[in-house]
Structure 1
Amino acid sequence: MNFLIIGGYDTKNLGDYASFLALKKIFSEENPNFIVLSRHPNDNFSKEFDVTCIRNLDHQTKEQSHGRIFNGFNSNDNNDHLKKFMMKYQNVML
Structure 2
Amino acid sequence: MMKLSTSQIQRLSEKILKQWKSQQLITFKVDEKVVLQTIIDTITNDFKREEQLEQDVHALMDQMEREHEGQFQRHKMFPMLKQKLAKERKIIL
| Fold in common (TM above 0.5) | no
Q: Which has the higher helix share?
A: 2
So what's the TM-score if we normalise by structure 1?
Answer: 0.36
Q: Which has the higher strand share?
A: 1
So what's the TM-score if we normalise by structure 2?
Answer: 0.36
